[in-house]
Amino acid sequence: MARIICVEDDDLAGELVKDVLTQAGHLVGVVSHGTLAYETIAFKKPELVILDWSLPGMQGIEILNRLRRSPDTYLTPILMLTAKRGKRLEDEAIEAGADDFLVKPFTPEDLVQRVAAALDRKSFAASRKIR
Average predicted confidence (pLDDT) for the chain? 93
- Name every residue whose Cβ is closer than 8 Å to that of residue 42 and which is 6 or more positions away in sequence: 67, 70, 72, 73
**Does CATH place domain 3-127 in 3.40.50.2300?**
yes
Contact 1, 48 (CB under 8 A): no
Q: Over the stretch 5-55, which tens digit does the pLDDT of each residue have?
A: 999 999 999 999 999 999 999 999 999 999 999 999 999 999 999 999 999
**CA–CA separation, 4 and 26 (whole Å):** 7
Contacts of residue 17, defined as CB under 8 A and 6 or more positions apart, other chains included, come to 6, 8, 28, 30, 50, 81, 111
